[in-house]
Structure 1
Amino acid sequence: MFDASLPDPGRLARLSDGELIDAVTGWARASAAAEARKVAAIAELHQRLCTDAAATHAFWVCDDCDALAAQLSCALTINHGRALSQIELATAMRHRLPKVGAKFLAGDIPISTVTSILARTELVTDERALAQLDSKLSERAVAWGSLTKYSLEKALDVWVDRFDPDAVKRTRSSSRGCYFTVGSGSDNADGTTTVHGRVSNADAAIMEQRIASMARNVCEDDPRTLDQRRSAAIGAIHAGSMFLACACDNPDCTAKVDDGRGSSFVVHVIADRESLDAPQDPLLHGDDVKDTESAGDTESAEHTETTEHTETTEHTETTTEPRRKAALIPAARNAILPPAMLAELIAQGATIRFVGDPTGAEDHYRPSTALQRFIRSRDITCRFPGCDRPAAHADIDHTTAWPCGVTHSANCKCYCRLHHLIKTFWPGFSDAQHPDGTVVVTTPTGHAYSTKPLSGLIFPGWDTAAESPPPPAQATQPSVGRHLKMPTRRRSRAQNRAARIKAERMRNAALRASQVRPVASRQTYRAENSHDEYTFRPAGHEPDYGNDPPPF
């Protein structure tokens, strides 16, 4: 029994366990159906704005699909990449796999299964094979909900291989699969970030030798473990140094060289003034503290622990020290840097610059260095709704275009290059800015979406509000032929997609051809420098050793 009024807590309490399970199942179907209706609406928008008949900017760097994705980013508060994925899913359900789309609309298939179907059938280009796949998958996908993602992909590959073998997604060779990734901001809350990748064996050997050498060339008093020194060596290498600075407390240590991590490379860190006064943590490096007392020292250890606990309690009762706030590295997807690590960075030679208060209007187009520093520190990310690209790599855009609008902190904000181009060239997009940094973006449909500077959330004590800028001298009028200044691409989005799919299908076809060997019933080889003949059967059969005695 599925009742649409079930979310009432009092009503839920009166249901049996079986009825609650029915409610869970029913709402799961409703959720899938609702997701499918959202996707269908996106497909209709794409049909109106981005098809060959409607699209007029196919060779713009920010084409019709980018403009639609920008509207979806505002409406759904998602980044541009996810918005493009939603568009791809919508068009596939509408045009490529309509029967699967119908099951999706009915709530029979969850969004996770639909996404896997889309990914594994991406390379199918033959219309007949695609229609056959659509029919078979729509019949069987309902029963695949219990499969793991890996098993589901294997089941999908079986059917793709049956109707279009060259469209099966295959893992590329190791050499083509080389990559190196620095983890996103989701895994660096403790001041560290995951780094992972795959490199060639030759590069790996070079890296291992260099890292091992740098990790060894410190004095014996260095408090860091071998793993910590190897990790620090990576930072020193990328700062342009071939040496690792020793972290001991001996000022006369000959290994205390400048390895560039604090002085030669620029890393912008945003922090409260009080965070700069944080002391270095003596336990920041080294092994984890473990209980190493022997059995004979148990009484002494217990006495020490009791004394320390008492002192800590008394200190807490008599003084209230404010909690140190962490710092932020905006260029690393808003990576968090604990105060102790910030103190270590300062001790290594980092330069401290204070972000000044917002100043008045400037009489030139390009903001001064101080004004740029303030705007990037205030915004932290791109100010377009849904976008989290770091402000450190973004453009500084005049909300009211120069020279009608002045260069002022209340008239300038950070846009990534993509959204800067969309706002500047695409008709229907406009924005407004308030003195406190709030930006209101209006899309071609007339919907308005506002964003506030991220600094207000992370540093609530920082007042970034400025005085209102002088009013524009005159109304801003778009220049004639302005659209001709939009950067263009050599191939349209559709052409790029077709070329990528064609190239991958050709690789799959070549791989399949290389795996099909001509089968010979019997082949004869003559051993070098010998008159003996040896006969072998084709691969997969037991070798025929003839009448030769062991060892053959």
Structure 2
Amino acid sequence: MFDRLFAGAEESALIAAIEQCAREEAQAGAHKSAAIAQLVSSTVSWDDEHDDWVYDCWAQTASELGAVLSLGQRRASGQMRIAIALRDRLPRLAERYLQGRVSAQVVSKICWRTRLVVDSQVWALLDGELATQAQRWGSLSEEALVGAIDALIERYDPDAVIRAKEVIAGRDFHIGAHEDPDELVLVWGQVLGCDAVVLAARIAELLKNLCEDDPRDMGERRSCAVGAIIQRQDHLPCRCGKPACPGAAPAAPGSASVVISVLADPAAVAAAQQLIAAEDREQQQKHAQNQAKTEPAPEAEAEPTPERDAESAGDPVESEPLPMGEDESPAPAPDAEPAAGPGVANSGRCLRDSGVALLPGVTILPIVALAEAIRAGAAIKTLWLPGPDPEPHYRPSTKLAAFVRARDLFCRYPGCDVPAEHCDIDHVVPYPYGPTHPSNLNCKCRTHHLGKTFAEGWQEQQLPDGTVLWTTPAGQRCTTVPGSWLFFPGWDTTTAELPPMAQPPPDPDRLAKMPKRRRTRAAEEAARIKAEREHNALQRALERKQALGQQPRSVAAQRIRQDYGAEPPPF
């Protein structure tokens, strides 16, 4: 159907169809935003009774919207803010959006970049300018689009320009960037000079343990040394491959002071161990070849025996293998057998399943990085699988919680993508009416946990395989499946089927138990805008002072007095 939709159409007809579809796509997005704005208007009520609830009216509406659009709480809230901005602050831009003359990407960027504007007259001026100019911004790159929007804001309200560079420069230390590959994470920032000296000395100390035959270059050695410092290891193992090297002793498994769980199926663990064995074997062979070149030619009777050759080319990983099995793995062992793989390709080469490994946050860990973790002392453990009997307490045990988090991987609310390690483990049927058993437990982020507990109209049912059936207050039906199904499709997550459970009686004091905010959502938003505007004003004043520093003192003082009154501001 898809490949035949425009079969035989001429190029001009295809271009016209693309243009028309782009306009209709923008119009559909505008209609969706208008519906969201009306939903917010009819469901979000700012009142003294509910404003200080953690799960307030805004959060409840965002939850229901996220379920319908399969969006997480933050993204659903962002859609609501765009809709409110178009309805209340940018009505002329909204009209262009409804006509399909402005794309959703441009509208979204405009609403975000203008969030610090507070004056109604400025809003009116910006709305008129944006409605005219935004129609020509669709062809701009993201950087150019941001520049065009900021330039327009600068004309009418300089303090409302978002100064991202100053905000980023004010942070002190960073771990990870959005462009990082899966294997590595960028770390950058500033530390005290004395701490930098200590760090450099510690790295140099660890590098002394390596001999000159270690195959890593100096940059890789320093990176490995920092990893050893993070894991509080007392030495950095050498990888020269020489049996007699004093620095070749491996790090003790589980020696790190901070423990993270890596989910990996048996195929991934086996592939990592095979990679380690191959690297060690290659390095040992290089060492043996180097020794053969440097040693003097032996006499005939002193020629190496086959036993000595075998010893020098031996594989310590194979002779003393690491523990095999599942590395915190949810996948059953039979799935790792070659028979379960894709078989033989037409080329005659057997395709081998290398498995999957996941870091916390559901980030893919490449096999080469998993091998490095095992080399660094990562312990390999088999994920505990629950039996039919429930646990006798409200709080699940550590091993039961690990199973539930490994099965779910994310918050089980429709569209939510909060990783399981940041979620609560919730009883579907509240304890003690529902047992502490995996068939009655799933992961929910704190917001959706509060919504399920305190909001009216939500219904939830969980099947033994972990599938959760939701019904929203509006009657919409949604289904979510365990996140592990996406990454470990061979894992059967089915646990024991529970007998019918009675729902608890209504709690008359339920709403009184709702957690309270320290200040309302509106007050927090106003405080953020005020703080960022003040920061921008200070930055502009400092920049002006630096620019005027090249001028005669009398001129600079006159300019500052014109801006700030009789006395210059304190710097």
Superposition TM-score, scaled by structure 1 size: 0.79
2:164 is the alignment partner of 1:176: no
Q: Which residue of 2 aligns with 1:87?
A: 80
SS across alignment from 2:439: coil
Residue 97 of structure 1, CA deviation = 0.9
Q: Which residue of 2 aligns with 1:115?
A: 108
Structure 2 runs not aligned, ≥5 long: 284-343, 560-571
1:41-90 deviation per Cα after TM superposition (whole angstroms, max 9, x unaligned): 1111111122426x852222222222222222221222222112111111
State how far apart, in whole Å, the 1-side matches of 2:526 and 2:53 are: 18
- Whether 2:105 is the aligned partner of 1:105: answer no
Aligned to 2:15: 21
Q: Secondary structure at the match of 2:358?
A: strand
Query: Are residues 1:369 and 2:398 paired?
Result: yes
1:209 positional shift: 5.5
Inter-CA distance 261–133: structure 2 relative to 1 (3 Å threshold): farther
Contact 2:232 2:255 in 1 (8 A): no
Deviates more, 1:59-68 or 1:194-203: 194-203
Contact kept in structure 2, 1:215 and 1:226, CA below 8 Å: no
CA distances 1:111-155 after superposition (whole Å, capped 9, x unpaired) = 121122112211111111111111111112112222222222222
Aligned to 1:449, the other structure's residue is in SS state strand
- Give 2:32's aligned residue: 38
User: Is 1:67 paired with 2:96?
Assistant: no
**1:124-523 equivalence runs, <5 A:** 124-170=117-163, 171-172=165-166, 175-183=169-177, 187-188=181-182, 192-199=183-190, 202=193, 210-211=202-203, 214-215=206-207, 217-241=209-233, 243-256=235-248, 262-264=254-256, 265-278=258-271, 279-281=273-275, 322-329=352-359, 331-338=360-367, 341-359=369-387, 360-472=389-501, 474-516=502-544
| Partner Cα separation in structure 2 for residue 398 and residue 466 of structure 1 | 15
Bigger helix share: 2
Secondary structure of the equivalent of 1:397? strand
Structure with larger RCO (C-alpha < 8 A, sep 6+)? 2
In the aligned structure 1, how far is the partner of 2:379 from the partner of 2:550?
A: 74
SS of aligned partner of 2:438: coil
Q: What amino acid maps onto 2:404 in structure 1?
A: I
Q: TM-score, normalised by structure 2?
A: 0.76
Q: Which whole-Å deviations, capped at 9, do the CAs of 1:262-286 have from their partners, x for residues lacking one?
A: 5323221222334434434256699
Distance apart, 1:325 and its partner CA: 1.4
Give secondary structure in 2 for the equivalent of 1:240.
Answer: coil
Give percent identity, aligned residues only. Answer: 38
CA distance in 1, matches of 2:267, 2:97: 54
In structure 2, C-alpha distance between the alignment counterparts of 1:169 and 1:184, rounded to whole Å: 20
Deviates more, 1:81-90 or 1:225-234: 225-234
Q: Is the 8 A contact 2:361 2:421 kept in 1?
A: no
Question: Deviations 1:267-315 (Å, cap 9, x if unpaired)?
Answer: 212223344344342566999xxxxxxxxxxxxxxxxxxxxxxxxxx99
Q: What secondary structure, in the 3-state scheme, does the structure 2 residue paired with 1:281 have?
A: helix
Distance, in Å, in 1 between the alignment partners of 2:556 and 2:413 is 67
User: What is the deviation of 1:445?
Assistant: 1.0
Instruction: Give yes or no for contact 1:77–1:386 (8 Å, CA) kept in 2.
Output: yes
Report if the CA contact (8 A) 1:367-1:407 is conserved: yes
| Deviations 1:231-281 (CA, angstroms, capped at 9, x unpaired) | 323322222346433234345533346667853232212223344344342
C-alpha distance in structure 2 between counterparts of 1:395 and 1:208, whole Å: 40
Cα separation, 1, equivalents of 2:483 and 2:517? 33
**365-374 or 316-325, larger mean C-alpha shift:** 316-325
Aligned residue pair count: 490
Which amino acid is 2:219 matched to?
A: D
CA–CA distance in structure 1, aligned partners of residues 506 and 178 of structure 2: 39
Deviation at 1:347, TM superposition (A): 4.8
SS in 2 for 1:476: coil
2:255 partner amino acid: S
